[in-house]
Amino acid sequence: MSSPEQTTAIVDAATDPARSPRSLREAWLALAGLSAVFLFEMLDNSILNVALPTIGRELHASTTALQWVTGAYAVVFGGLMLAFGAVADRFGRRRTMLIGLALLGVASLATAFVSTAEQLIAVRAATGVAAAMTTPGSMALAFRLFGADGLRVRAITLISTVGLVGLAIGPTAGGLVLAVAPWQVLLLVNVPVAVLAMIGIRFGIAADAADELHRDPVDVAGAVLGTAAIVLALVAPTLFVDAGTGSWVPWAVTAAAVPAAVLFVLRERSARHPLLDLRLVARPLVSSGLAFKAATGLATAGLGYLVTLQLQLDWGWSPALAAVGMLPQVVVLIAGGSLVSPFVERVGLERAAAISAAAVVGGLAVYSLLGRFGYVWVALALVLVAAGMRVVGVAAGTNVLRGLPKERTTIGAALVDTASEVTSGIGIAVTGTVLAALFTGDLAASHWTARQTAEFQQAATVAGLTLTVVAALLVGWGIIRGRSAPITADDSDSSAGRDDSPGAEADAPRAAQHAG
């Protein structure tokens, strides 16, 4: 229960944009709302996956339809983040967030009236639109809420921890709910989450100040090309897994994604008011942070896919035992939150991002080379990847926002999320393609022959090492890029509240912790 003084402080901070909260406690209402947004993103698909068999039976849905129940959300979410990030930076981050939360509530309520698989897919697509409007804004609003990097790191760590707890308990909670209630309840839970988020953001965060927005016209052509390129890149991996490398469809979609991406870049370089100013992406902090996130997306997607297949199909573990086998990763992801801020304070944001991304790549390398020799190596790989993920999400994301002008923070957060979404899809596509090329027979068969086991182990090694090399190159490039240029006056002037004086980066987190 908050005291009158704390409530007054929150209202003052919300109505006076010039005043930043001096501690996380002072901004508790805003952080509760932002945490609810991230909880929705992490909980949504994980809790729904448990209900897919039930949904298939009750709605008489085909396998393809069930895949699109989750796929429609992911594709729409990933495809629209950049566009809505640009819109939020122009018309208001809080305003865009509140509209997205209202859409989330309405779409979730519509679940109660769904009677066909097609209707549910439409609801999931609308939910994806709401997620694209809200998720990047959660990081951007947390960043602009505080003036010191130390508090920013602690706030983003708190928000991500809430989301990861939701991700961890989602499947278990979903299974318990299904035992006593219809599957629609799993999506209706988004309604109270949306209401909580709206209250926290409406009353805990000030409306955007005019100097924190920009009024350039929206680049509609750039938005269409960018969305098309991302959607095609996200659809292709699913098609490769479902249709196989022998089908022309996934190859055609992949081929279409390349010219769409090229046309997007050409458009953004020539447009007077581009959707995404590529000169900003080229800034050292921004490009290095995105490289670290891309490397992490590749490695984690590939590892997760391979470990799931190995535990259940190669080693014959039951789904329940396989879930227990993933516990080291879950424990580190949740418990590691308390170590993020001290680690960042000790080594600095840039080093923290580089070290944590390298740990993720190292975990994939351990699995690729040694995972076949026993579970202890798989567990070690999971721990390394989880520890790296826990830090890189906060450090690299914060660095991207620090490297951007204050009126471009939402599209920066959208870039971070898009980099993870697209490279995760690529990681799965690469892994699935290698498996299809080297594994003979039915991968989902309950009993493999000795030859198939050897083929899977070879495919896991080839796919894992391929992703390891690419991810390591990204990390190396990110490290070089982060050190490639000294801080210029332009960087200092356009960064949100950044002090580029010698020692300022090391001192800011310590001063912020004192204030907290």
Q: What is the pLDDT of residue 19?
A: 62
Q: Is the pLDDT of residue 321 over 70?
A: yes
Please tell me what DSSP assigns to residue 129.
H
One-letter identity of residue 508: A
CB 416 within 8 A of CB 171: no
Highest mean pLDDT (candidates 42-51, 106-115, 174-183, 503-512): 106-115
Q: Is the pLDDT of residue 500 over 60?
A: no
Closest by CA to 198, choosing from 109, 112, 92, 100, is 100
Q: Which of the residue ranges 92-106, 119-133, 251-265, 422-436 would you say has the lowest mean pLDDT?
A: 422-436
| pLDDT level of residue 129 (50, 70, 90 thresholds) | very high
- Write the pLDDT tens digit of every residue in 381-437: 999 999 998 899 888 888 888 888 877 888 888 888 888 888 887 888 788 888 888
- Write the pLDDT tens digit of every residue in 347-366: 988 899 999 999 999 999 99
Q: Is the pLDDT of residue 6 over 60?
A: no
Q: Mean pLDDT, the chain, as a whole number?
A: 82
For tokens 């997760």, name the residue: 304
For tokens 């992801």, name the residue: 333
Q: Is the pLDDT of residue 204 over 80?
A: yes
Q: What is the pLDDT of residue 487?
A: 47
Q: What is the pLDDT of residue 186?
A: 86
Q: HSE-up of 67 (CA within 13 Å, CB side)?
A: 10
CB 408 within 8 A of CB 283: no
Stretch 302-316: mean pLDDT: 87
- Write the pLDDT tens digit of every residue in 221-274: 988 998 999 888 888 877 776 676 678 888 888 889 899 999 999 998 888 888
Q: Is the pLDDT of residue 79 over 70?
A: yes
CB 417 within 8 A of CB 135: yes
Task: Tell me whether residue 346 is exposed, middle or buried, using C-beta atoms within 10 angstroms of its C-beta: 0 to 12, 13 to 18, 19 or more.
Answer: exposed
- What is the pTM for the complete model shown? 0.77
| pLDDT level of residue 1 (50, 70, 90 thresholds) | very low
CB 325 within 8 A of CB 264: no
Q: What is the pLDDT of residue 385?
A: 94
Cα-based angle 434, 439, 440 (whole degrees, multiple of 5): 140
Q: What is the pLDDT of residue 244?
A: 67
Closest by CA to 200, choosing from 256, 145, 152, is 145
| pLDDT level of residue 14 (50, 70, 90 thresholds) | very low
| pLDDT level of residue 470 (50, 70, 90 thresholds) | very high
